[in-house]
Amino acid sequence: MNIADLFATHRRSLSVGFFILLIAFVLTFPLYGGIYRTDVLFTMLTYAILAVSWAMFSGTTGYMSLAPAAFFGTGIYVTALLQDYLPFPVIMVAAGVISFALAVVLGLVTLRLKGIYFTIFSFGLVVFMGNAINYVEADVLGRHGWYFNVVNQTVLFYTIVGLTVATVLAAYFIGRSRLGLAMRSIGGNEEAAEHVGIDTTRIKILTFAISAIFMGVAGVIVAPPLSYSNAGIAFSPVYSFIAVVAAVFGGMGHLAGPVIGAFVYGFLEEMLRVEFLIYFQLGFGIIIVLVILFLPSGIVGLVPMLRDKLGEVIAKLRKGGEGEQHANT
Amino acid sequence: MRSYGKGAKGSNMRILEGQGVTKYFGGLAAVSNVDFHIDQGEIVGLIGPNGAGKTTLFNLISGTFPLSSGEIRFKGQKLSGLKPHQICRTGIARTFQETKVFSNMSVLQNVMVGAFFGSLTHVSGAAAAREASQALEFVELSAMSTDPINDLTLVNQKRVEVARALTTRPELLLLDELMAGLTPTEVSEAMELVRKIRNNGITVVMVEHVMKAIMGISSRVMVLHHGEKIAEGTCNEISRNRTVIDIYLGEETHAGS
Amino acid sequence: MAEAERFLGLTLIGIFGGGIYGLMAVGLSLQIGVCRVLNVSHGEFVMLAAVLTFVFRQLGINPLLAPVFIGPLLFGLGFLLQITLFRGLKARAPSPAAFEGNALLAAFGLMYIMGNAARIEWGTVSLPSHYLTNSVPLLGVNIQLNVIVGFAIAAVLGIAVYLFLTRSRLGKAIRATAEDPATAGLMGVNTNIIMALCFGLGALLAGVAGTLISMRTDVNTGIGFNNTVIALVIVTLGGLGSVLGSYVAGIIIGIVSMMVAFFWESVLIVPAYYAILMILLLARPSGIFGKK
C-alpha cells in the first residue's frame, strides 16, 4: 500500500488528529509561550473564528459576504455599552443574540437580491454602521470612543479558545446536517435548489444569521484587550477582508482550511508588523492574487496535490528499484 | 418497483389548468392569454418555434416568475403567489432546458437533495439514500451513483435531473427539452423512460423539438407561437394542421433524425 | 438671503461634483456589467490618476492635459489585467458564481497591491493638487471653475460613451456580450477582446475622473477606498448597464452629500448614501434605470 492510499483511507482520523493536536498545542501554549506570543495566538484565534464562520455561509452558498466586520464591531460595542451593567458571560450571549437579529434583518433585505448586490450591501453595512455610530457618539453623546474594563487575560485566552472550538464544531455539524446540504445545493445551483423544495431565502438567512453569532461573540472577547475603541476601530472593514482572505487562502474545501489560513495570516501580520506594514499588505495582495489564480482550493488543496506528487515519486522510485533488480538477474 | 405517482389510474381528473395565462417582460408578451388543461395520466407535448413561450409557460407553472395576469390551478388549487419550493412540494416537478445540476456534488447526492426536500413529509438520511438509489435505478444510472456530477455527459446529467425530480414525489412532471442533442437511439430510450414515468402514475408535459418523440408518445399536443396557443389536438390532427405546418416550414424539425 | 445662496451653491456643486462621480461609476458599471468583475480596486485607479496628475504637474504638464497620458496608461493596465488575470480566472473557475467570487477576491488583492505600492512610492501625505480654483459667478452664486470644467468634461465623455455604446457596431458587440456572452460568442463576437476593451475603458474613465477630482480637492494615496465605495453605491443606485442611470445617480449622490453636509454633518454623508441605497433596493431591486 503506498502513501497516497494511506492518506486517503485514514483521512478522517488524520483530520481529527490534526485538530486534537492543534487544540492541545493551543491550550498549553500560555504555559511556555510567554505573554507576547500568547497575545499573537489570541489574534490568530480571533481571525480563525472570523474565517470559519465566514466560510460557513459564504463558502457553501457562494454569496460573498463582506459583513463580518459589522457583527464583530457590534460585539465590541455591545461590550462597551453593557460592561458596567452585566457580567461578561451575559454580554457574550447578548452580543450573539443581537448579531443574529441584525443578520436576520440584513438577510431579509438583501438576500433576495442578486449576489453582487448582496456583497455590495454587506460591505456597505460595515461602512454605514461605522459612520453612523461615530456620528451618534461624537455629536449626540459627546463621546470619543470607549475604554474597556480590564478582564483577566488568561480567562479571555481560554474563552477565545473555547469559542474557536465551538465555531469549528458548529461548522462541522451544520455541514453534515440537512441545513448544510441545503446550503451546498444553493451553492451548486440556486434555481434548481429552489425548484426541488428548498426554501432558499429562509436557508440563506438562517445560515447567515448563525454565522453572525460567532462573529459577534468574538468581538466581545476581543474588546477588553483593546483597552480603547471607537467606531472607526470597531467597524474597520479590515476584519471582513481578513475573514475572506484567510478562508480563501487556507482553502474552503475542508474545515481546517480557514483555520490554517487565519493562523498563517495572523502569524505573518505579526512578524511583518510596524515598519513593514505597507510592504506586508503589498505582499499579501500579491499572494492573494497568486493563490486565487493558481491555488483555487487554497493551502488545504495543496495536501492532496502533495500527496499525489509524493505517491508519484515513490512509485517511480519503486519502478527504478525493480528495474535495477531485473537488470542484475 | 416503487410507484412514484399518487394518481388513480384511469380517472380523467384535470390535474392542471390555466386560464388567460399571460406574462409580460417589459413591453413584450412572452405568453399571451393561453388557456390549457392537462388531464391526469396524459403525456402532453408542448411544441412551437424557438421563442414561442414554452419554457416561459413552464416557468409560470413552476413558480419561477409570477403571472402578469390569468390563473393556473393545480388539482383545483390556485398556484399564484406560491414560491417554487412550495409548488414543488404540492406535487409539480420539472427539469430545465439548460441542465441545472448541483455541480459540487456526486450523482447520488444530487438526487438525494430531491428526496430530502421535495416532499411534505420528513425523510431520514437512510430513506433519502434509498429513494435516490431507486430513482437512479429507474433512469438506469445506478452505475454512476458515486461519480462527481461534472464527470457525466450532458445526456446523463439530464437523466440525473429527471431522477432528482422523481424523488420529490411529483404528480406532474414538466420535462423541458429532455431529448435535445440525443442520437436516435438515445431518443428512443428517452421515450421509453417517459412512458415508464407515466405508467408509474405521473402526468407528463414535455417541451420538445424532437418531433419523433412528441408524435411517438404524446396523447395530445399543444402548439405555441409568439406566446399564443395556436393549435391543440391529437398528434394526427396536429401533423395535418395547416397553420402548424406553415410555421415549421423553414424551421429545422428533428423528425426522426 | 445668504442662506438661500449657500443652498443654491451647494446644490450646484452637488450636481457638478456628482457628474464627475457619475463618470467614475460608468467605468465600474462597464467592468461589472460586461466582465462580471466586482472590481473593488476601481477606486485605486482613480487614486492613481489623481496622484499621477499631481506628479505630472510637477513636471510641467497641465492637469487638463494629463488624461492624454494617464488615460492610455490606465487603459492599457486595465486591458492587460482583464486579458491575463481575469480571463485566467474565468478559464479555471468551475462555475460563473465561482468565477465572480474569485474575481472579487483578486480585485481585493489588486486593491492592496495598488494602494500599498502607491503608498511606498509617494507616501501618505496630502498633495496640493487643486487647480482652477478661481470662482466664477453662476446663477448668482460663486462656483469654483474646476468643478464647472470637471462637470463639462464628465458630461461630454458621458455622452460620448453613451453614443458609442448605442450607435457603434463595437458598442452593440459590447452590449451583446454584457447580455449573454455565450450567445454573443456564437454570433462571432470576440468576447475576450471585448471584455479587455471594457475593462480598459472602465479604468480609463476612472482615470479621467481621478484627474478631475484632483483638480477640485487635494488628494493622497489613501483616497482609493472611499471612491470605490462611492462608485459602488452609484452603480447600484443607477442600475448596472445604464450610462444615464450612473450620471443621474451620481448627481443624486452629489446633491445628497452636499445637503447632508449643509443640514447635518459631513460624517453622515456615507450613512445617508446607504440609507437611500437600501430603501431603493427594497423598492426596485434593479436600481433606478437598471435592467433586470
Give the ipTM: 0.88
For A115, which residue in chain C has the nearest alpha carbon? C97
> Do C271 and A131 lie within an 8 Å CB cutoff?
yes
d(CA A77, CA C290): 37
Query: What homologous superfamily does CATH list for B13-81+178-257?
Result: P-loop containing nucleotide triphosphate hydrolases (3.40.50.300)
Tens-digit pLDDT profile for residues B5-38: 444 444 568 899 999 999 998 778 899 999 999 9
Determine the distance in angstroms separating the CA of B106 from the nearest CA of chain A, rounded to an integer: 11
> Per-domain residue ranges for chain A?
3-321
Tens-digit pLDDT profile for residues A12-45: 777 788 888 888 888 888 777 788 888 889 999 9
Tens-digit pLDDT profile for residues A131-170: 889 888 887 888 888 999 888 888 999 999 999 999 999 9
Q: Which domain holds residue C104?
A: 9-283
Question: CATH fold of A3-321, please?
Answer: ABC transporter involved in vitamin B12 uptake, BtuC (1.10.3470)
Where on the phi/psi map is residue C123: left (φ > 0), alpha (ψ -120 to 50), or beta? Answer: left
d(CA B188, CA B216): 9
Q: Please name the residues between 140 and 179 in chain B that touch chain A, using a CB distance below 8 Å.
A: 164-165, 168
d(CA A8, CA B228): 58
> Do C85 and A284 lie within an 8 Å CB cutoff?
no
Is A215 within 8 Å of A166 (Cβ atoms)? no
Confidence (pLDDT) at B257: 38
B103 contacts in C (CB within 8 Å)? Answer: 94-95
Percent of chain B having pLDDT more than 90? 63
> In chain C, which stretches have pLDDT less than 70?
1, 284-292
Q: Which residues pair with B173 in a beta bridge?
A: B93, B204
Closest alpha carbon to B150 in A179, C181, A188, A252: A188
Task: Please give the model's pTM, rounded to 2 decimal places.
Answer: 0.84
Q: Does residue C3 lie in a domain region?
A: no
Tens-digit pLDDT profile for residues A247-283: 888 888 788 899 999 999 898 888 766 567 788 788 8
d(CA B42, CA A109): 43
Among the partner-chain residues A192, A198, A199, the one whose CB lies closest to the CB of B100 is A192
Is A51 within 8 Å of A110 (Cβ atoms)? no
> Do A196 and B118 lie within an 8 Å CB cutoff?
yes
Which of A199-208, B167-176, C219-228 is least confident? C219-228
| Grid cell at residue B94 | 420539472
d(CA A148, CA A223): 7
Confidence (pLDDT) at B2: 42
- How long is chain A? 329
Domain count, chain C: 1
Number of H helices, E strands in chain C: 12, 2
> Do C95 and B103 lie within an 8 Å CB cutoff?
yes
> Do B150 and C95 lie within an 8 Å CB cutoff?
no
Q: Does residue C290 lie in a domain region?
A: no
Among the partner-chain residues A123, A248, A286, the one whose CB lies closest to the CB of C105 is A248
> Per-domain residue ranges for chain B?
13-81+178-257, 92-169
Angstrom CA distances, C104 to C97, C98, C101, C218, C234, stand at 11, 10, 5, 29, 18
Cβ-Cβ contacts under 8 Å between B and C: the total is 4
Determine the distance in angstroms separating the CA of B177 from the nearest CA of chain A, rounded to an integer: 16
The residues on B that touch C, with CB distances below 8 Å, are 103-104, 150
Per-residue burial over A79-100, b = 16 or more CB atoms within 10 Å of its CB, e = otherwise: bbebbeeeebeebbebbbebbb
d(CA B16, CA B73): 6
